[in-house]
Amino acid sequence: MIGYVLFEDRSKIGKPLTQHKGISVYHNGQLYAESYGRHYSQDGYYFGQKWQCVEFVKRFFFLAKEHRMPNVWGHAKDFFDLSISHGELNKQRGLVQFFNGKEQTPQEDDLLVFQDTMYGHVAVVSEVGKTWVEVVQQNIFGKPRQRFSLTHEKNVFSIIAPRKPVGWLRIAKN
In this prediction, residue 63 carries a pLDDT of 98
Q: What's residue 10's pLDDT?
A: 77
Mean pLDDT of successive 10-residue stretches along the chain, which has 174 residues: 58 93 94 90 97 98 97 96 98 98 96 96 97 97 96 95 96 84
How many CB atoms within 10 Å of residue 2? 3
Q: Tens digit of pLDDT for each residue in 131-157?
A: 999 999 999 989 999 999 999 999 999
pTM of the model: 0.93
Give me the residue spans of the domains in the chain. Answer: 10-170
CA neighbor of 80 nearest in space, from 56, 104, 98, 102: 98
User: pLDDT value at position 1?
Assistant: 45
Q: What is the pLDDT of residue 8?
A: 65
> Which superfamily, per CATH, for 10-170?
endopeptidase domain like (from Nostoc punctiforme) (3.90.1720.10)
CB distance 51 to 26 below 8 Å: yes
pLDDT of residue 9: 72
